[in-house]
């Protein structure tokens, strides 16, 4: 829930799930305010205060006080940097004396008392303001232009320019007096006639320092994933990642964090990614595809973090963008597909199982091409009848998802009906058909590995083993549109919505009647 701005104050807002103290720095002060990395300019002072409103209000008081201190100091530095008549006078006086010393270094200065007297008289007229602007410019305008070019004087109006020329005339008179005293061998010049030269130097200002308040809590990979889930729940992303996918991401992240010794996202480097990749390849325990997938998961979360921070998290680009990934050899689909003998053995063995998920899920996926995690959450109400044909409604929402993020209604194959699946469903109470929840997928894999094929380490998981076999069975004259819909694949066209109405469902049932029976491998009757 967002904070009440009236209670928290106008300098506290709500950003990315946290309260934040924030003050915009005036444009003229930005060069004198440091960012958290210690460099100027800073356009806004901000600190994150956490997610609790009471704690945020408590933490904000010293932080906002420190912001005020920084802005006050920046204002003093800004005022000190602005050109004044005094600073212009002192700069010109120093330049004139330096030029006099340079002339003397070249050779003895000729005593030009008469010329100096004439020049001094003209300068006094300028200082008194009794000459024309053109005469004043001709006499001392060069000094004004020099100061303006160096940013040491303000002559933005005719009045300011006239006042500057008067002061510079007095400064030049003082410089001539010093020069003449040097001609006489005097060590100390006479008292200056320009008041601005006699003003004491301002007190040195405290140095500009970086903010003393605490920095925003470190951004973690877990924080990025949770923010992505929040954004998706608000409908700001068209698709959400399946829970199983996020579980894989979190496992890869945990391994990467352990390897690099940090959970912080902003400090990830290309060198860390390369070291992790090389260590996994050298160890030889993981396939190149697994390593490829783990690095891809890290890349995905880094891209989420970069987008969540409006592209400002990695100014130089995503750190793993140019990381070379292991080349993955494309596996022959036959190596990931059950043979008819293996499929029949598994289905016949399933008849002996007492756990409902072991008994029926292999049969369902063998005759629908569905993924295991699409079937495990099925409820009795998801098995529906339309015009004498049965369908399995694979839903999306309430924690259920599909790879295309779309629901579908798959006709129940005749082989599954003959096996007694519909009769079994009718006998079940309302609610979930299978036990175990999200972990049932893993239980089925372990059961197949330990009980069905105990001496085989080369068996594909049931998702691939049955899915590929069923897709091969669809070649028996089933239309391409129907095949895509039944197996839950996306074509990228409006055909993905095939099966939306009852009339289309009846057409799907006719297409399913063409699919061979897995047990007998016989073609469907004409």
pLDDT of 433 above 60? yes
For the cut 50, the answer to whether the pLDDT of residue 213 exceeds it is no
Q: Lay out the sheet containing 389-394: strands in order across.
A: 383-386, 389-394, 408-411
Neighbours of 431 (CB within 10 A): 8
More reliable by pLDDT, 76 or 98: 76
* Res. 15: pLDDT tops 80: no
Q: Report the distance separating Cα 365 and Cα 165, nearest Å.
A: 95
Distance, CA of 511 to CA of 479 (rounded, Å): 7
End-to-end Cα distance, the chain: 62
What average pLDDT score do residues 178-195 get?
A: 64
Own/partner contacts of 312-321, CB < 8 Å, gap of 24 or more, are: 313/219, 313/265, 313/266, 314/266, 319/268, 319/269, 319/270, 319/272, 319/273, 320/268, 320/270, 320/273, 320/295
Q: Which pLDDT band, with edges at 50, 70 and 90, does 523 fall under? A: very low
Q: Is the pLDDT assigned to residue 48 strictly greater than 60? A: yes
Query: Of the segments 201-215, 288-302, 310-324, which one has the largest average pLDDT value?
Result: 288-302
Model pLDDT, residue 204: 64
Percent of the chain beyond pLDDT 70?
80
Instruction: Render 102-165 in DSSP notation, one character per residue.
Output: HHHHHSPPP--HHHHHHHHHHHHHHHHT-S-HHHHHHHHHHHHHHHHHTT-----SHHHHHHHH
Share the mean pLDDT of the chain. 79
Minimum mean pLDDT among 55-59, 195-199, 415-419, 453-457: which range?
A: 195-199
**Spatial distance between the Cα atoms of 123 and 139, rounded to a whole number of angstroms:** 8
Higher pLDDT, 28 or 116: 28
Q: How confident is the model at residue 210 (pLDDT cuts 50, 70, 90)?
A: low
Pairing of β 383-386 and β 44-50? unpaired
Q: How confident is the model at residue 411 (pLDDT cuts 50, 70, 90)?
A: very high
Given a cut of 60, is residue 167 above it in pLDDT? Answer: yes
Residues 6+ apart with CB under 8 A from 405: 239, 240, 396
pLDDT of 276 above 70: yes
Mean pLDDT of the region 154-176: 76
* Lowest mean per-residue pLDDT among 114-123, 160-169, 253-262, 516-525: 516-525
Nearest-angstrom CA–CA distance, 362 and 490: 24
Cis, peptide link before residue 370, omega less than 30° from 0 = no
pLDDT for 378 equals: 92
SS3 per residue for 180-229: HHHHCCCCCCCCCCCHHHHCCCCCCCCCCCCCCCCCCCCCEHHHHHHHHH
Of residues 45 and 129, which shows the higher confidence score?
45
- pLDDT classification of 6: cutoffs 50, 70, 90: very low
- The pLDDT of residue 49 is 78
What's residue 462's pLDDT?
78
Decide the pairing of beta strands 18-24 and 44-50.
Answer: antiparallel
Q: Return d(Cα 406, Cα 488) in angstroms, integer.
A: 8
Separation between Cα atoms, residue 482 and residue 480, nearest integer Å: 5
| pLDDT recorded at residue 113 | 54
Count Cβ atoms below 10 Å from residue 114 Cβ, excluding itself. Answer: 8
pLDDT > 90 in the chain, percent: 17
Whether this model's pTM surpasses 0.75: no
pLDDT of residue 239: 64
- HEC string for 251-293: HHHHHHHHHHCCCECCCCCHHHHHHHHHHHHHHCCCCHHHHHH
pLDDT for residue 254 is more than 90:
yes
């Amino acid at each position: 829930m967002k904070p009440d701005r009236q209670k928290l104050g106008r300098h506290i807002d709500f950003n990315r799930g946290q309260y934040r103290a924030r003050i915009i720095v005036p444009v003229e002060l930005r060069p004198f305010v440091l960012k958290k990395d210690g460099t100027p300019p800073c356009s806004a002072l901000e600190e994150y205060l956490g997610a609790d409103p009471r704690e945020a209000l408590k933490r904000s008081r010293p932080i906002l006080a420190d912001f005020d201190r920084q802005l006050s100091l920046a204002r003093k530095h800004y005022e000190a940097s602005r050109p004044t008549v005094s600073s212009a006078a002192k700069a010109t006086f120093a330049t004139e004396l330096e030029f006099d010393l340079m002339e003397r270094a070249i050779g003895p200065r000729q005593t030009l008392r008469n010329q100096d007297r004439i020049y001094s008289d003209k300068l006094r007229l300028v200082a008194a303001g009794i000459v024309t602007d053109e005469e004043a410019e001709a006499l001392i305008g060069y000094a004004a232009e020099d100061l303006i070019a160096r940013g040491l004087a303000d002559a933005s109006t005719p009045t300011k320019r006239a006042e500057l020329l008067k002061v510079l005339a007095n400064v030049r008179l003082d410089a001539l007096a010093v020069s003449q005293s040097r001609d006489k061998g005097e060590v100390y010049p006479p008292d200056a006639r320009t008041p601005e030269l006699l003003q004491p130097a301002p007190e040195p200002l405290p140095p500009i320092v970086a903010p003393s308040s605490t920095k925003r809590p470190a951004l973690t990979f877990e924080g990025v994933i949770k923010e992505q889930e929040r954004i998706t729940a608000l409908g700001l992303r068209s698709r959400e990642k399946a829970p199983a996918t996020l579980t894989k991401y979190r496992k890869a992240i945990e391994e990467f964090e352990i390897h690099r010794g940090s959970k912080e996202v902003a400090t990830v480097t290309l060198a860390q990614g390369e070291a992790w990749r090389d260590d996994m390849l050298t160890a030889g325990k993981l396939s190149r595809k697994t390593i490829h997938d783990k690095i891809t998961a890290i890349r995905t979360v880094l891209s989420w973090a970069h987008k969540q921070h409006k592209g400002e998290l990695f100014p130089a680009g995503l750190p793993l963008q140019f990381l070379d990934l292991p080349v993955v050899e494309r596996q022959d689909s036959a190596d990931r597909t059950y043979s008819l003998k293996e499929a029949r053995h598994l289905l016949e063995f399933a008849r002996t199982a007492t756990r409902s998920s072991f008994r029926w899920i292999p049969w369902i996926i063998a005759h629908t091409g569905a993924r295991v995690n699409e079937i495990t959450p099925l409820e009795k109400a998801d098995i529906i009848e339309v015009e004498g044909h049965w369908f399995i409604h694979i839903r999306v929402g309430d924690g259920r998802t599909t790879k295309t993020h779309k629901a579908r209604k798959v006709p129940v194959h005749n082989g599954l009906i003959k096996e007694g699946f519909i009769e079994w469903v009718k006998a079940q109470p309302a609610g979930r058909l299978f036990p175990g929840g999200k972990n049932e997928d893993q239980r089925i894999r372990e059961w197949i590995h330990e009980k069905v094929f105990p001496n085989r380490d080369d068996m594909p998981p049931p998702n691939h083993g049955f899915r590929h076999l069923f897709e091969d069975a669809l070649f028996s004259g089933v239309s391409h549109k129907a095949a895509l819909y039944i197996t839950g694949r996306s074509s990228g066209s409006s055909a993905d919505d095939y099966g939306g109405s009852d009339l289309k469902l009846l057409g799907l049932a006719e297409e399913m009647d063409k699919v061979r029976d897995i047990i007998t491998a016989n073609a469907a009757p004409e």
